[in-house]
Structure 1
Amino acid sequence: MTAPFSDSAHTPQTETDRATVRLLPKANARAIRHGFPWVYANELVTDRRTKALSPGALARLEDTTRQPMGLVAVNPLSKIIARMLDEDPEARLDQGWFEARLARAQDLRARLYDAPFYRLVHAETDGLPGVVIDRFGDTCVIQPNAAWAEAHLSTLTAALVAVTGVAHVLKNAAGRTRGLEGLDDVSGVLHGQAPDGPLPVPMNGATYLADLTGGQKTGLFYDQRPNHAFAASLARGARVLDVFAHVGGFGLAALANGAAGALCVDGSAPALDLAQGGAEAMGVADRFATRQGDAFDVLAALRAEGAEFDLVICDPPAFAPAKPALDAGLRAYERVARLAAPLVAENGILGLCSCSHAADLGAFRTASVRGIGRAGRRGALIHTGFAGPDHPLLPQLAESGYLKSLFFRL
């Protein structure tokens, strides 16, 4: 369980404690030199000294010929035993180091968006491995999902305030990734104070309510912004069904762009309450409805009721977060498509999304098409969408391109 929010501080390793770690011959040193940011546990010499390093310890990385490769953060408890931090093995992780990376990240987002509501830091692609920072006006939420970031959290927070000028910084410690790093799930207030309630977030003409202390992840999913916009462009006059809706991502965007009505389905009553609040804030509550329940059950029930929609979007959680879950995850995506397709009116649109790291675009598309076919429908793929530009993709790291959205005309 996540503990109540409280102040927290961490003491980073001193520069004089820095160790040296070395790649095994089997490691792909060339890939690392060309930008791959991780070293797996079976690629590093793990002698007694390396195993004794504390999670998040800084170390100089060398190749098999003892040539320096850069500065890494080491975690002997993780399958990703080392994360590349800097090409300079002697780099100092002081406030200035963090400020330089944060300033570069903020400069990109300021060029992309008119208002300060976006993902500010997207982990490895912004030079801060394992770190996610979402900005909500004058509040930022940090997810330090790697041990090195936890150890330097106070310095990161000070740099974040200095660069952005935000009044409040929260720590979100939820999620499976921290567990894989051997970290706890204790969230807290790092600077300023937690908001009294949900914060309104403007996006694509809609207003979303983000619960930064009790909601999923950091409170809102910014990654779907361009896919919300594409779906909304098809929504004028449409009857819309938004399944796995969370706080109303697709449904509220559709209503903001002239949908005749939107039904949002989710298993979480608090999330649907936030969606309802967003609809009320937008003045579209008369065209908005929610239905709580298991998404698969609700889809089957809607079909039994003879319901029909012009635009149906399904944005489920990650059914295949890792390779061992891939087969089961693809079957789940196929099932979503099979249950959703019969609810789409003739010449209507079905949008299907996946945020699974392990399911690549081809596999997800195949599962979706199979599900549509098994529902007795035929679809033409009209659009493929990905995460927005505030979630940049690191070409060397396939995991950074996790989000896929497929839109079919049935």
Structure 2
Amino acid sequence: MHRCGRLHPGDQGAEKVNRIHLLPGREKSLLRRHPWIFDGAVKEKNADIRSGETVLVCDAKERILASGAWSPASQLRIRVWSFDPQEEINREFFRRRIARAVKLRETLGLLLPDGGCRLIYSESDFLPGVIVDYYAGFAAVQFLSAGAELWRQTIVDELIALPFIRGVFERSDATVRKKEALPSRNGHLAGETLPPGIIINENGMLFETDLQQGQKTGFYFDLRTAREKIRSIAKGKRVLNMFSYTGGFAVAALSGGAVSVINADSSAPALAQCEKNLRLNGFEGNFQNICGDVFQLLRKFADAGEKFDLVILDPPKLIPNKSAVMRGCRAYQDLARLGFKLLDRNGMLCNFSCSGAMGVELFQKITADATLEAGVEASIIARLEQSPDHPTLLSVPETFYLNGLLSLCRG
């Protein structure tokens, strides 16, 4: 490792940029514009470089390939900011990247005064480790990498400068920060303070969100298109909504004309919020909320011979890492098997996996195996994935994580 002649971005000549070298042959993924460099590819594994500092990444022949953020505590040692070595990583860089992300959401028609969406999706918006969700004028941010943490104030300054942002709140409490040796952070950062509950409008459906304590930053924006699909098919159906969280699918189903919805979740606070959201949308008496272990509840319904026209299964991540793939696959298959058993004639199962390690083909195979165990025939009538405000960057397949299938039982 040595310092090159180029000035450190944003430091006005204060210091020069460290060069980090890749081992021979380890530049291939970088040449395909994948932004992750693991410690096993780096020559200077123990370089004395400040956490989050910008480094230049060179191949074994001293060719500069990219600039990125150094993370000494993580196996993911460098996250690339730019594949243009001449592009300085400074305030203007973040302003351009944020503007690019905003433009996409404007094009998608998602930046409405009372709406909500994912505004910045990390690598997919060329800002690795930065997550920003938009809630009716407020930004909930997560800084999940050493580089994002180092530039946090710059990013906050640029967010609060956006004309549609009134306040910025931090939710950097995800466990991934531990891998970067970063502490958990949660609190007000800029602008107006958060009101007790922010209500967002999604295609006419109202949801009160909890930005301070809710899952992710308070709402599952990645399921927007799935909620629209459920609303479009729900008319006249008896719906079982498992892992219901705060009632996104329940509101969608009843908005689409479902005759009844049973919601089940292990979290009592989530179910309380689910009930508030249902009543916020004017629904009374046609839903039931049950708190308990969802796997046990599914078995209880099956043993009792209960039948539904639509079963929705949206569990939390059951495959947190590659070592858990086999165990997680069995759990996903058990869920689908029980879901199929609960369907009435010509009923539909809508099942999801948010585990990044679960590929599209594997998820379909697991669901197919579940039909065999349940003794049913089923056809896929729709494939569901994360909403377009969570774009999949083709050069980074890991940015795709949400698999969903809508299957129709035949006969």
Equivalence for 2:36: 38
Distance across 2 between alignment mates of 1:90 and 1:125: 21
Normalising to structure 2: TM-score of the pair? 0.93
Equivalence for 1:72: 68
Deviations 1:106-147 (A, max 9, x none): 111011125241100010110100111110011011111111
Task: Report how far residue 174 of structure 1 moved.
Answer: 2.0
Give the counterpart letter for 1:312 in structure 2: V
Contact 1:263–1:291 (Cα < 8 Å) also in 2: yes
Equivalence for 2:59: 63
Give the counterpart letter for 1:42 in structure 2: G
Contact 2:318–2:355 (Cα < 8 Å) also in 1: yes
- Between 1:216-225 and 1:180-189, the stretch displaced more is 180-189
Q: Specify whether residues 293 and 164 from structure 1 end up closer, same or farther in structure 2 by C-alpha distance, changes over 3 A only.
A: farther
Equivalence for 1:186: 185
Give the counterpart letter for 1:311 in structure 2: L
1:55-204 matches, within 5 Å, as 55-114=51-110, 115=112, 116-204=115-203
Distance across 1 between alignment mates of 2:61 and 2:200: 52
SS in structure 2 of the partner of residue 285 of structure 1: coil
Deviations 1:84-105 (A, max 9, x none): 1012335333322211111111
Unmatched segments (≥5 aa) in structure 2:
1-8
Contact 1:102–1:163 (Cα < 8 Å) also in 2: no
Contact 1:142–1:172 (Cα < 8 Å) also in 2: yes
Distance across 2 between alignment mates of 1:400 and 1:121: 12
Alignment of 1:241 onto 2:240: yes
Distance across 2 between alignment mates of 1:172 and 1:74: 22
1:4-19 matches, within 5 Å, as 14=11, 16-19=15-18
Contact 1:209–1:275 (Cα < 8 Å) also in 2: no
Distance across 1 between alignment mates of 2:183 and 2:16: 24
Contact 1:354–1:403 (Cα < 8 Å) also in 2: yes
Equivalence for 2:3: none
Alignment of 1:286 onto 2:285: yes
Distance across 2 between alignment mates of 1:222 and 1:84: 26
SS in structure 1 of the partner of residue 79 of structure 2: strand
Deviations 1:342-367 (A, max 9, x none): 11111010011000011111111111
Contact 2:251–2:277 (Cα < 8 Å) also in 1: yes
Equivalence for 1:409: 408
Percent identity between matched residues is 31
Equivalence for 1:307: 306
1:218-297 matches, within 5 Å, as 218-297=217-296
Contact 1:204–1:225 (Cα < 8 Å) also in 2: no
Q: Specify whether residues 240 and 146 from structure 1 end up closer, same or farther in structure 2 by C-alpha distance, changes over 3 A only.
A: same
Distance across 2 between alignment mates of 1:164 and 1:106: 11
Equivalence for 1:8: none
Contact 1:316–1:353 (Cα < 8 Å) also in 2: yes
Task: Report how far residue 334 of structure 1 moved.
Answer: 0.5
Contact 1:118–1:390 (Cα < 8 Å) also in 2: yes
Distance across 1 between alignment mates of 2:192 and 2:272: 24
Contact 2:33–2:83 (Cα < 8 Å) also in 1: no
The higher relative CO (CA closer than 8 Å, separation ≥ 6) is in: 1
SS in structure 1 of the partner of residue 124 of structure 2: helix
Task: Report how far residue 76 of structure 1 moved.
Answer: 1.8
Contact 2:10–2:91 (Cα < 8 Å) also in 1: no
Distance across 2 between alignment mates of 1:110 and 1:47: 41
Q: Specify whether residues 342 and 99 from structure 1 end up closer, same or farther in structure 2 by C-alpha distance, changes over 3 A only.
A: same
Give the counterpart letter for 2:333 in structure 1: E
SS in structure 1 of the partner of residue 245 of structure 2: coil
Give the counterpart letter for 2:408 in structure 1: R
Contact 2:10–2:89 (Cα < 8 Å) also in 1: no
Distance across 2 between alignment mates of 1:63 and 1:299: 54
Give the counterpart letter for 2:145 in structure 1: A
RMSD: 1.6
Distance across 2 between alignment mates of 1:290 and 1:372: 27
Contact 2:271–2:289 (Cα < 8 Å) also in 1: yes
Contact 2:53–2:147 (Cα < 8 Å) also in 1: yes
The runs of at least 4 consecutive aligned structure 1 residues that moved more than 6 Å come to none
Aligned length: 396
Q: Specify whether residues 121 and 199 from structure 1 end up closer, same or farther in structure 2 by C-alpha distance, changes over 3 A only.
A: same
